[in-house]
Structures are given as C-alpha cells and as structure tokens.
Structure 1
C-alpha cells in the first residue's frame, strides 16, 4: 500500500492560498513608479513557490500561467520595466484567476478556460506589447474555450505542434541518494536549458513503517521545452549515470489536419481583440466564476459581481498558534495529575483524608474551567482574518468610482470566535460599500469642501466591556438628516408630523 498523496495535496493548496494572500497584499502595497525590491521579492517568491509546487504535482496549467507572472515580476524586480498601474491591475486580476484555477483543481472542477486565456493574454501584452500567436497555452485554451458544440471530431492540437523539446523519463535507483546525488540539483540545471514541467510517480513508495529515508522511491516524467540538444541533457544526467533509468525522447510534431469549413472554430470577439490589439487588455470584462461545489465565501468585486474568496474551504480547518496548543497540553497534564491523586485517595479513603479530597476536587474544578477556556481560545481567530479582505475591495471599487481612498486597519490582532468571523463578513462588506459609494465624495468635491483629495475609511476593532466592538469611520459627507427622515416617511416608518432630533433620525 502506498502513501495517500491527498495529505500532501492539502498542504500544497494551503501554502498556495497563503502565497496568493502575500502576493495580493504586496501588489496593493506597490507604489507605481517606484521599484520596491523587498515588496516585489515577496510577490515573486509567492509566484515562484506556486509554480514549483504545481510543476511537482503535475498541475502544468497552473505552472505555465504562473511562469508568465513570474517573468513580469522578475523584470520589475531587476528594474528592466517600471511598476505601472496597468501592470499591477493585470497582476491582481491574474492572482484572482490563479486562485480560481487552484480552487477548481482542489474541488476536481473544470478550470475556466476563457478566464485563463484572457488573463494570460493580458500578461503577455504587458510583457511583449502583444499576444504571441504561436503561444502553445494560448492556442490550446482558445481551442477548448470557443469550440462550437457540434464539432465532435478530433481536430488538430496546435499545442503539440508548436512545442519543441524533450520528454524525459527519470527513474532513480533506490541507492541514488546514498551516492550523494540529489534529483533537485539535476532539475535546477535542467531549468537552465529551458522551461520544464514535471509529474512525480509515487506508486513505489512503501508503507510508512517501511520507509528508509536514504532510499529514493520516486520517479519523474519531465517535459522540457527547449531547443537544446540531447547531448546537453545527457551531460546533466551524467552525474547519475549507472544510478538510474533514463529515457529521453524528442517531442513529436504532428501535421495539421484540415478542418472542414462548416466546422471552423468561431473565435469570440474578446479573443480576437487580444491577439490583434497591442493595447492593454480590459480584464474587467471577465468574471472569474466560483466552482459550483466550492465552499469559499463569496466576495464582491468592483462591479458588484461575486468573486471567489481568497481562502479555500474556510470552514473546514483553522490555523492555531502553537502557544495555545502548549497551554492546553499543560492544563491536560495538570488534570491527569489531579485525577491520579484523587484515585489514590479513593482507594483507601478515610475521614481524615476529607480535607485532601476537597482540595483535589477544587483543583479538578479549576483545571476543568481552565481547559474549557483554553479550548475556546483555540477557536478564536484574529479579526485580521476578515479585515485582510477589504484592502482589495477598496482598491477595486475606488478605481471604478474614480475616487481616491485610503483604508486604515486598526486592532487587527483582536480575537473573535471562528463562528463570528464567518458571520460578520457580509455585513462589513455592505457597510464598507456604503462608505465607498455614498460616504466618500469625489476628489474635486472634497477639494472644493476644503478636505484632502484622498478620503479615509478606518476599520477598527477593540474590546469593550466583554464585547468586541467593530467601527467603520469615514471622513466623507456624513448622513443627511432630512434625506433620512424623507426616506423613513416614504417607507411608512414614521408619519409626516414626527419631529426627530439628530440622534433619533440617525438611529
């Protein structure tokens, strides 16, 4: 029986979604025109980790998509291209697309091919000024996304025809690691020859009790896209000659099959415009749909559409600080000690041990209360789990409304119960949207009113009297008492003769 790889998949997806969090946060912190190497490095590392993990697990679509993002970020990091708002917007949209791809793979749902091809095209336009017509992944995605339903025959796959490279089957012997060789080093050298993807074979992994950490039980199938020669590949693997089975085959080019005129693929206008126009792509045209059986909490994009939440399967698991686990273990240890003491007292109980029994029961009661509190603390999550969703929301909506808004988060470490976290997201979205849409004025109106051009929304959380208080404060136009009263009369909440003071009207 082999190891269940699903546990490794779960860790991979968790790390990917955390990487996407870091990438999105970094992109929102980037100032256009400035090259902040530290921030760009953080974003780049997130993309690089996702690309590497995806290649290892055989998720080539994710690896190929992330590779283009990585290239764009690398050029920004090296100063070869400026940090512009269009580029940041494309990368933010690509993060959403990547999140949707990973969520679909995790849920065994099909990937939204149209969204992938549009964002991939937008990235290539930022990189090259136009879409490469011979791009294998673009051709493949367009074919799958816009093919008419009546086309049932197998048609020419441009992906395979455009590829030039090698397929490498690498099966190390068990003693490979004992000779000092490391497959990872070979893969790094292989990456210098060109872009590659790898799928790992785990069927030879023994049961957990039989695993020898010095034995190599894995094998790989690699696809290298490069114009290198077979001699260059053999030179890399010469280090492990005699310690593995190696099969190198050239990727076969297939000749195109003609497609009958009546069955020609009809490209959608958005795809045609991507290929022909060098202008930046309006990625807002594409709505990344949430997989039907995903458990993610929806969030709202700048156009009011629901997009998938950046976290995967939020209700199934939580991360717990190790300090909380240690505290619980210590309390359990105290309970066990007290239990043992009470057991000894009970074996040969006499009335002169009554005081000792009472002390033991008192200790047990105290430890039980402490254990209950410790378990409840494990369910507590920092409010930042919710707050961290709003910088992107404010960024997107303020851009759509042509408003300049600065979001300030206060009290992010305030802890609330996990159940509360899941309940307050939607109300907070509604309140933030009210501030964005109706509270903060347009820049020219703010300047005319003697206010700073940039509006401020403050999202604050703090403890007060055993409760958690969440406040949303903005420096916008505020509430109009007369409009509120008119609306209340219109809805029949009050009669026309009612006289309300400010507090009554606002409540």
Structure 2
C-alpha cells in the first residue's frame, strides 16, 4: 500500500520555514568563540529536522546540502572546533539558500542548486581543515573544470534575465536605477520585453509591466552582479548566467574532454539545462523530477504559507465555549416557538434575543482573535536586515524591539511589512550618521533604531524611532521649491515642510544608493498605509532623531462606519476618516473657475464633492444648503462630501467588491445591512480621484480662493 506523501507537504514547508526563522534568530545572537549550548542545540535541531523531512519527501538537494551544515554544527556543539565569524556568516548564507530552495519546491518549481553547491564546497573545505575557505567568494564549485569555467565567464560577462514583480514600484524600488548600476560596472546591452503591457484603458500607473534581457560585458564576478539586485530578489525573477558565446565554447571543450573520460560535461554544473515541458523524456528522468519536486495542485496558492495560521489552544477553547453558549440560546428560542405564542412568552423572547445578540457579539470577537497574531512575526525579519545593512553602510547600528507581543490581524500584518522595511532602511541610510559624525557631535558611536508597537483605542500604533540627525527642514523646503511643490511665499510650519518627503518623486539625497534616495518610495509607503485605512505621521528634532508613527486598524475585516443617504442609496463612510458634519452656510462658499466649490471653515478652505454627481444619483435636492456636509480627512487634508442625510453609525463586515464582482473606482468594498440590502463603502482616495481633486488641484483652489478674497 503506497502513501501519497504530497498531502503532508504543507505541514513540512510550514515547519521548515519556522525552523529557518529560528536558526536565523539564534545565529544573529551568536558571537565567535564557545557559544551557549542551548543556542547551538536549537540551531542544530532545526537543521536536523529540515534534513530529515527533506529526505523523507525525496528532496535530495535540500537534504544533501543540510547534511554538511548539520555536520559542522555537530562538531561545534561537541566542542571539536571553535565557532568563528566566518562560520556564522556561512550559516546565515545557508539559511537564505535553504529558504530559496524550499520556496521553489513549495511552488512546484525546480530549485536552483548552484549557490548550494558553492556553499557546500566551502563547508567541506572547513571540515577538511581550511578555516579560511569561507572568506572566498561564493563561486566555489564542486570540480576544477567548473572553477575554470567560472573564471573564464567572469572575464567575458553575464547574461541577465530581469523580470520585476508587478508590485515592485509599491515597495519603493525602481528598476531603472538597477539598470544604471549595471552600467557602472560594465557595458550594458538592453532588450526590453513589452509583451505584458496592457491597453491604455486598463493600465495601472503604479504597476510594472516591463522585463529585460540584459547583456553585461564586464570582468566582474557573480557576487558583484548579485549585489545590484540584492534588495529585490524576493520581488523579481532574476536569472544570471555566463554570456552564451563563452558558455558554448566551454561546453564544446569540456564535452570533448568528458567524452574521453566517460564523464558528463562539467558546464552543466554552471548552467543546468531546463527541459521544455512538451519534450519527451526517459522514464528515469521523469521519476527523478517526480521525486524531487512536489506534485502541482491546480488550486494550490502560490505562497502556501499564507493559507494557514497557527492558533493558541486557549483561543480555540474560547471559541468552543462561545459556540456552546450560542447553542443553549438557540435551544431556548426554539422552545419558546413551540406551541401557541402568548404575551406571557414575550418577555422571555426579548431576553432570549438580547442573549442571542450578546452571544453573537462574543462569538464575533472570539473569531477575530483567532486571526490576531503578535507583531513579532514582522519584527523578526529586522535583526537580519539591520545586521546586513549596517555592514554595507559601514555604520554601527543597534536595533531595539518593544511591544513584540502586541497583536493585530494577520492580513494587516502581511501588508504592513514592506512599508516598515522601507522606513527602517531609510532611517539607517539617511537618518543615522556615520560613526565619525556621531563622535564629532558628542553622541555614542553606535546608532539606535527602535521598533515599538502598542494598542491605542481600536488601533495599533507602530513607531520607527532613530536617534540620528533628524530631518533638514531647510533643505526639504528648498528642494520642494525647486520641484514646484511650494513657492517661496508658502506659509508652512516645519512639520508641514517635513511632510513633503511623502510627495511623489521627492528626495533630498545627494546621490543615489541601492537603499534609498531614488526619488521613489516614501509616497508609496504612505499610499500603502492609507490603503489599509491607516495613517503615517512624522516628528523630527534636528540633531536628536526622527519618529515615524503608523496607525492602523486592528483588522481589515470589520469597519466602524457612518451610514449616509444620497437619494435612495445608502453608503458607508469609514468613521476613522470623518472629522465632523455640518450644514452649509452659502455665504462661506466660493466657486473657483466655475468648476470647484470651496467652503471656508475656520480659516481652512475645503473642496466640496457632490456625491450625487459622482455616482450619478438623483438627490432629495441639488441645493447645497438643503444637504449636509461630511468633512473627512485624507492625505493630511480635508474634503467635504455633500449628502442628503446622516443615518446610524454601526460596525460592518467588509466584503471585497473586486473579488466578488469587479473593481469600482471610488468604492473600497461592500457590506450587507440588517435589512438584507447591500451598501457600498466609500473609498475616500478613489472618490477624490474621481472628482478630479488631486492634491495639486486642491492647492490651486486654495490659492485661487485666497487671491479672490484679497482682491
């Protein structure tokens, strides 16, 4: 009787990735010398589990590589050799390598074993007594002929297939600058692929549709090329191979020698061939692929780790208790419905319905708690990021983590990770001074970055704090004037000037780096946070540092909303966006350019959006004074939405309109009201876009009103 092992793949991958996270966390705490026994045992056990599971499922490439890692760990924990910094660095590289190989296997793809072979050779050299092996570049390959080939390849250049992910621009990365960096290390020939560019009607300005075939003529090694794409490897498909002309020459020469020796061409170790899917293969070849690659399920998610969640038993127990209470209440109501209903049962019915509402609310909260995870799942990626980046920048940086057990919804957690990475990188690159600058200003030579999370009301607050030099407000102002964002006469506070760094394309960096300063990123950070119904604030003190404060709802599944009516239609405005509501005094309204109405409210000028015009409805009255104005805040500015009536405030369950129907501009989702009707949730950002009230237009309106009143 054969057992289908593929049914256990998901559990294996989930546990393996958790093991790799544990390895990385413990490795970052290690110091050269004699490590703590428990620490090294934790690392060893994780590696041992991955090796055992890989062998069980036939993932031989992972098992073979992990075996040599495990061997060195075993010698260290037995006291047979001292732990060195070289070994720690190699172990960390091994974690990255294993993560990539397992990710490929999880996604039903053949893993690239080239890096694993290179690292394995270095481990074997250390085990053989060559402690300096780890200092060599990762070009070590298992045989001499491959070494010769790599040396020859580096003298000619590299063929690079660069396919950025669709969302790469939203993570603050710009492909064009990577292409420019390649141009700095050699001669570049580009061939752009436009096959994936959609029609103008469906194109999204923030999505990337291009990919490139790049020929880099340079004598640089592979590590130099990898460095260019270091920060985007998770968001792109990148394939780097030696230039084809030389590979063919090496192939022919090695093949001739291999024929005489009865060996396979060594060049295969450098650029493994991938057989087309429709090409016939021998049974032995098919068996090998089946053995090493998980069976592909048509409905399987690309990232299987996102399809499951690990829940504490106490949360499950609470859920079971709530269901039990609900069953009891249901039985009571059923009993009341039996027989003839009389007035004597009315009080019991009302009590039962009240109990049902209470149980339902408790059950809802219990279910939502199941989706809540500690933010340590996000924070855990930053120690490695700070360690590697600080080395690259030549700065000494200490990372402090506070509030790691603060919980938030899993969906929010997954989407806030990339904006946080960009803010932390920006703090390390721009915020913290060099060691020399810190000493000269009387500071500790070690810079500090603190990540802090805590609950505040119905939100979670995340702070990214650095003790660097703070923002140069005057430099930001001059850059904004040069870019046409403000004028010399603009009356802005320091705080308002500092917030200009969130404007698209704004950067004060004197030179471009692969970390930041490319003129993209901070606007994307704010836009991604606002897409989560959150906000980002900035406080900076010159010479003392900066604090970025992110405020997010605890969950994206439930929303506190204000119901509003426009004609016969009911809409919901997120309560978090609403500042106030009021009746309009026409004396405070100005019309600018015959197109935009603006309300003067306490020395502010608020553009007005007529919701009935926006969504083509027939209102109770088109006269502005007959309606109500709901003042909402977006992008740190206020907008007025004209409606017919304010209804109740209530908590609503959000349903995705895009997943169930299609994307509708100006609408972020839908919900079902108590009477069974569907109500749409207004997307403030989309509504502003529909109304044509971009920030530049809003500034022009404000300036026109000021000019009008002064005249």
Coarse TM-score class (shorter-chain normalised): 0.5 to 0.7
2:308 counterpart SS class: coil
d(CA) in 1 for partners of 2:95 and 2:66? 9
Offset at residue 432 of structure 1 (A): 0.3
Offset at residue 498 of structure 1 (A): 3.1
d(CA) in 2 for partners of 1:366 and 1:483? 57
Query: Superposed, which structure 2 residues align to 1:104-503 within 5 Å?
Result: 104-128=104-128, 129=130, 138-139=142-143, 256-257=261-262, 265=267, 313-348=304-339, 349-503=341-495
Contact 1:114/1:142 (<8 A) preserved: no
Higher relative contact order (CA 8 A, sep 6+): 1
Offset at residue 36 of structure 1 (A): 1.8
1:96 matched residue in structure 2: 96
Offset at residue 256 of structure 1 (A): 4.2
Question: Can you list the C-alpha shifts for 1:148-200, whole angstroms capped at 9, x where unaligned?
Answer: 57969x97999xxxxxxxxxxxxxxxxxxxxxxxxxxxxxxxxxxxxxxxxxx
TM-score normalised to structure 2 length: 0.48
Which deviates more from structure 2 when the two are superposed, residues 30-39 or residues 93-102?
30-39
TM-score normalised to structure 1 length: 0.66
Contact 1:410/1:459 (<8 A) preserved: yes
Offset at residue 79 of structure 1 (A): 3.1
More strand per residue: 1 or 2?
2
Contact 2:117/2:142 (<8 A) preserved: yes
d(CA) in 2 for partners of 1:30 and 1:333? 49
> Mind listing any 5+ residue stretches in structure 1 that lack a counterpart?
132-136, 159-254, 270-292, 297-311
Offset at residue 417 of structure 1 (A): 1.2
Offset at residue 142 of structure 1 (A): 5.7
Offset at residue 313 of structure 1 (A): 3.1
d(CA) in 1 for partners of 2:12 and 2:102? 10
2:32 matched residue in structure 1: 32
Contact 2:50/2:66 (<8 A) preserved: yes
Name the CA shift for 1:365/1:264 in 2 (closer, same or farther; >3 Å).
closer
Which deviates more from structure 2 when the two are superposed, residues 116-125 or residues 351-360?
116-125
Which deviates more from structure 2 when the two are superposed, residues 49-58 or residues 335-344?
49-58
Contact 1:338/1:364 (<8 A) preserved: yes
Contact 1:155/1:257 (<8 A) preserved: no
Contact 1:380/1:417 (<8 A) preserved: yes
User: Alignment length, in residue pairs?
Assistant: 367
Offset at residue 110 of structure 1 (A): 1.3
Contact 1:91/1:123 (<8 A) preserved: no
d(CA) in 2 for partners of 1:105 and 1:256? 34
Contact 1:324/1:374 (<8 A) preserved: yes
Contact 2:408/2:460 (<8 A) preserved: yes
1:138 counterpart SS class: coil
Contact 2:114/2:270 (<8 A) preserved: no
d(CA) in 2 for partners of 1:326 and 1:16? 27
Offset at residue 14 of structure 1 (A): 1.3
2:541 matched residue in structure 1: none
Question: Can you list the C-alpha shifts for 1:384-405, whole angstroms capped at 9, x where unaligned?
Answer: 1111111111111111111111
2:455 counterpart SS class: strand
Contact 2:146/2:267 (<8 A) preserved: no
d(CA) in 1 for partners of 2:257 and 2:403? 54
Offset at residue 87 of structure 1 (A): 1.5
Contact 1:114/1:141 (<8 A) preserved: no
1:109 counterpart SS class: coil
1:205 matched residue in structure 2: none
2:401 counterpart SS class: strand
Runs (4 or more) in structure 1 with deviation over 6 Å come to 143-147, 149-152, 154-158, 266-269, 293-296
Name the CA shift for 1:258/1:41 in 2 (closer, same or farther; >3 Å).
closer
d(CA) in 1 for partners of 2:443 and 2:301? 43
1:134 matched residue in structure 2: none
Offset at residue 81 of structure 1 (A): 2.7
2:304 counterpart SS class: coil
